[in-house]
Amino acid sequence: MSRPLARVTAAALACASLAALAQVPEFRVGVEAAYVDVFVSRGDAPVVGLGSDDFELRDEGVPQPVAVVASDVLPIQALFVFDSSSSLTNEKRAALRRAGEILLAALRPADEAGLLAFSAEIFWLAKPTRDRDAVRRALARMEPIGATSVYDALLAALAVADPRGRTLIILFTDGRDNTSALDASHLKAVAERTSALVHLVTVRDALPQPGRPIRAPLDRTALDDIAEATGGRVWVANSVATLGGAFERIAATLAARYVLRYEPRGEPKPGWHRLEVKLRKGRAQVHARRGYWAPEH
């Protein structure tokens, strides 16, 4: 494995947190446009063919005129954050390599991808790049070792999220965080201050294999809340064999997402701004980030 980016000291993680907190989502004061990433579905099927007039967006309760813009206006930065702790069996490692291939195939030439593997330490096996082969080689280098620092790994990904574009973080883990320096509330505060969209993927394990440690089950409550707050979703595979299906569904959302553009009216007051996005007509599930933080001036 390459040299670990972290696990380092708590002070270094605090510095990373401050750096992430300094990144404001793609919402700006005055005439600059804000972009909101939206996915609409009925059941498991995406709803396609919608236009600007189909959406209603409110910023702190105030209706905003929106326009649906071509998704290729803002390239995607896809960050794969994969659990490589001691539970990474050969079967899971092969499944994650296939999952990575599925996601890479769904990206466009202008999009970037990167791979962060984590156990008790955090390893950037591939920094964000357009070189798909570099990411494939990184996927092949994943090795099982150690405990699980889920929160610290997600923070590391949020800290490098591209504030100018669309960052998609796909976090895979199958066990409880047991070594992170951060807590869930701190991590959520960081996620709310970035423009990244977080998907959580996990798998329901069968009976533990002989000779392998029994992992504490994943405490999904905090991670579920972070994913949904950013406009992402939680995807649960029933087995390692069906793990690829969860990633296929994420890949399908990439082509079916809408990017809404609006110009915030007036100067947003500092602090948390609640966003509401819904369809004007019809019933469907609308997935979009819940809000954003406006900075002090």
Q: pLDDT tens digits for 96-131? A: 999 999 999 999 999 999 999 998 889 999 999 999
Are 91 and 240 spatial neighbours (Cβ–Cβ below 8 Å)? yes
Closest by Cα among 182, 195, 185 to 156: 182
Domain of 47? 34-72+257-294
Residue 172 lies in a domain: yes
Q: Is 62 exposed, middle or buried (0-12, 13-18, 19+ CB in 10 A)?
A: exposed
Question: Which residues, in sequence order, are CB contacts of 185 under 8 Å at separation 6+?
Answer: none
pLDDT at 248: 93
User: How many CB atoms are closer than 10 A to CB 80?
Assistant: 26
Domain count along the chain: 2
Residue 1 lies in a domain: no
Are 63 and 89 in the same domain? no
Closest by Cα among 16, 213, 7, 205 to 117: 7
Are 111 and 147 spatial neighbours (Cβ–Cβ below 8 Å)? no
> Using the 8-state DSSP alphabet, how is residue 71 labeled?
G
Are 56 and 93 in the same domain? no
pLDDT at 12: 46
**pTM, full prediction:** 0.83
Are 78 and 215 in the same domain? yes
pLDDT at 2: 44
Residue 58 lies in a domain: yes
pLDDT at 135: 97
Residue 17 lies in a domain: no
Are 57 and 111 in the same domain? no
Are 160 and 166 spatial neighbours (Cβ–Cβ below 8 Å)? no
Vertex 93 angle, CA 88 and 96, to 5°: 115
Are 57 and 156 in the same domain? no
- Residues of the chain whose pLDDT is less than 50? 1-31, 206-210, 212-217
Report the CATH number that the domain containing residue 189 is assigned in CATH.
3.40.50.410
Are 46 and 111 in the same domain? no
Q: pLDDT tens digits for 265-281? A: 766 678 888 999 999 99
Alpha-carbon span 245 to 212, nearest angstrom: 26
